[in-house]
Amino acid sequence: MSIYQKNVKVCIDSEIKKALASCQNKKQRSFFMKIITHVRQYSCLLRPQIRGTQQQYFQGVSFVKSLRAVISHRNSWINSFFIWKPEKCGSANRQFYCLLTHLFAKYPVPSFMMSIWFEDPSPDVIRKQNWFKHIGSGQNLRTVNDLPLRFTKKMSHYFVHAPGDLSINQALRWSQVRGMGGDEVLADLVVCSRIGNNFDNENFWEKLIVILCNSECLPYHKISEIIDYVYQAKFTDTIVLESNFSLKGQTDNSLLNKVNNWHRFLSLEVYYHTKYRSWKQSGINGYNQQDSTLKFCKLSIDELQNNWSLIEEGRKMRNCVANYIPKCLRGTTSIWSMAILKQNIRKRIMTIEIDNDQKLICQAKMKCNQAPDRDSLEALQCWADKEGLKVELQ
């Protein structure tokens, strides 16, 4: 026996001693040792592997705990433990699954449900172990009284075909999405989100899942962001963009807009909590037209020369111009704000980006990144001609 095997054996033997010490009387200890003897004789569950990973190192210890859980459900055994003889060539996990089905199941049980027998005892764990027995007896999961969500016959069908690497809670969520009409990609994404393994406030989250499943244009990469936003808006006070959030009347576009605004707000908050920073003027003159023959009677184009002014521009114009602060600090880019003076009130109408090295106006966007209208473009061209700037808008 190698040093590795000896170390594993010591760990397994130690766990067996702990289990024996927890037995209430001599009869229980004798029965437990009969189980251990039978398992060692006919299976590899408690047999040290020749070599293996850290997970395999502790696998034998886990099986001792699992056997104790199996024994605690002894009154539900449908066959004698001592006639169980697994396949010799099967892996330890495969052999343990065969043991569970031998003792509790007349009908197939999803293999991922085996994981609940490795958990430490608790009311929730015992409840799910009973689900294993419930399905093994040929009954439908939706007939269980203590499920954490509303379950349909269609969801029950998907549950028994859920991916084998999911936990039971994740499989419930996965089958819920599939049963509501969502595809496998959407189901996988919801499982990986904050609600994939949690059923608090389930009546609310079920409504959101209905929206996601019925969506025709929500991009997959936004699913997790939408769930995060809805959680923050509904169950925390960290989002100041919206109060009394409700899913009623929400559409694909409204949810996407809210998520995008939220991310933009978070970005701006990060910038607002940074130190005030300014940079040198680009060398390009601004523009003031008091007697223009254009639509605007009073118009100005001014350079923004500090991080706070870029943040404010982004907030007013609903764009991500604050992301250009590093470029402005390096001097490679300058950002300008076009505005009109109306009744002594300055109203922003366009944000402009200039490549300082090439003297090139490369971007010009109105509010919410809309393309410039004809009058704004004419004013922009007048300024470009005066300052010798090229205009090549993206």
Q: What is the pLDDT of residues 189-245, one digit of tens each?
A: 999 888 998 999 999 999 999 999 999 888 998 898 899 889 888 887 554 456 678
Q: Which residue has the higher pLDDT, 242 or 307?
A: 307
Q: Are strands 390-391 and 360-365 parallel, antiparallel or unpaired?
A: parallel
- Lowest-confidence range among 25-29, 234-238, 302-306? 234-238
Q: Residue 326 — φ and ψ, nearest 5°?
A: -60, -40
- For residue 269, the model assigns a pLDDT of 58
Predicted TM-score of the model (pTM): 0.65
**In which element (H, E) is residue 205 found?**
helix 202-214
Most confident of 210-214, 234-238, 249-253, 311-315: 210-214
Q: Kindly report, as residue ranges, where domains of CATH 3.40.630 are found in the chain.
A: 287-391
- The residue type of 50 is I
287-391 to CATH, choices 3.40.630, 1.10.3470, 3.40.50, 3.90.1210: 3.40.630
Q: Which residue has the higher pLDDT, 318 or 147?
A: 147
Rounded distance, CA 358 to CA 333, Å? 10
Token digits of residue 269: 């908050």
Q: Residue 162 — φ and ψ, nearest 5°?
A: -70, 155
Token digits of residue 55: 């997970």
Map 140-199 to HEC letters: CHHHCCCCCCCCCHHHHHHHCCCCCCCCHHHHHHHHHHHHCCCCHHHHHHHHCCCCCCCC
State the average pLDDT over residues 355-384: 89
> Among all chains, which residue has been given the structure tokens 């994404």?
189
pLDDT band at 54 (very low <50, low <70, confident <90, very high): very low
Rounded distance, CA 113 to CA 111, Å? 5
| Residues, the chain | 394
Q: Which residue has the higher pLDDT, 89 or 92?
A: 92
Q: Which residue has the higher pLDDT, 10 or 36?
A: 36
pLDDT band at 57 (very low <50, low <70, confident <90, very high): very low
Rounded distance, CA 355 to CA 334, Å? 7
- For residue 90, the model assigns a pLDDT of 73
DSSP string, 89-128: TS-HHHHHHHHHHHHH-SS---GGGGGGGGSPP-HHHHHH
- For residue 292, the model assigns a pLDDT of 46
- Lowest-confidence range among 54-58, 62-66, 301-305? 54-58
Residues near 143 by Cβ (< 8 Å), separated by ≥ 6?
Answer: 134
- For residue 49, the model assigns a pLDDT of 64
pLDDT band at 58 (very low <50, low <70, confident <90, very high): low
Q: Which residue has the higher pLDDT, 239 or 75?
A: 75
State the average pLDDT over residues 77-94: 87
